[in-house]
Amino acid sequence: MSMVAFLAALALAPWAHPVAFAPLHGWQTGMSGNTHSAYGKTVLESSTVLESSAWTARNVHYRDDATADPPNNTLAHLPRTGVIVWAVIFNPAEKGSKSIRLDLGKAKRFACCEGAYVAGSEYELTGSGPGRSYWVIVRIYFGSRPTSTLRAEAQQALDRLELPASR
């Protein structure tokens, strides 16, 4: 195997299994599979930038493509008890990045969104995936100011996020 082929295989290793959410009672889930990315830069001249996104939603019908960032059609119908957790992975990881911690308590709060008003705002977690082989963004949307119950539900969903192995 040539060095270029080896490096290309290494760069594509995480894409053997797209990002997904394991089933969770009361939640809907969906995913994009691997697609060409709107994020990141090329890893190698011969490779393409890939992304994989997934979502899980509670108390709302998910209306967008899995790659929609933000999922404005769904957010426009997000009820007070609704929660959406959306994740995307893409290559490459930022140099020197720390591994993502899927802990809602560590999430940064943002005023949300481009287009749709979200009463509970958006929270975001970022970092590299296993082996620093890709970058991860996770966004959590709440239909109202998050209560301890809504936060616990969102953390359960975060705990079900299945990030691909690095190799």
Q: Give residue-wise pLDDT tens across range 107-158.
A: 999 876 677 778 788 999 999 998 888 899 999 999 999 999 999 999 999 9
| Residue 15: band (very low, low, confident or very high) from pLDDT cuts 50, 70, 90 | low
Domain assignment of residue 24, yes or no: yes
Domain count across the chain = 1
Domain assignment of residue 79, yes or no: yes
Domain assignment of residue 167, yes or no: no
Whole-Å CA distances, 114 to 79, 83, 88, 99, 157? 18, 18, 17, 27, 24
Question: Closest by alpha carbon to 151, among 125, 126, 112, 123?
Answer: 123
Domain assignment of residue 147, yes or no: yes
Q: Which two tokens stand for residue 17?
A: 């299994």
Which structural domain, as residue segments, surrounds residue 146?
3-162
Phi then psi for residue 127, to 5 deg, are 160, 180
Question: Closest by alpha carbon to 58, among 151, 131, 126, 125?
Answer: 151
Q: What is the pLDDT of residue 166?
A: 72
The amino acid occupying position 31 is M
Domain assignment of residue 33, yes or no: yes
Domain assignment of residue 88, yes or no: yes
Q: Give residue-wise pLDDT tens across range 31-88.
A: 998 777 777 554 444 456 688 999 999 999 999 999 999 999 999 999 999 999 999 9
* Rounded-to-integer distance, Cα 19 and Cα 54, Å: 6
Q: In what order do the strands lie in the sheet with 122-128?
A: 27-36, 50-58, 83-90, 135-142, 122-128, 108-110
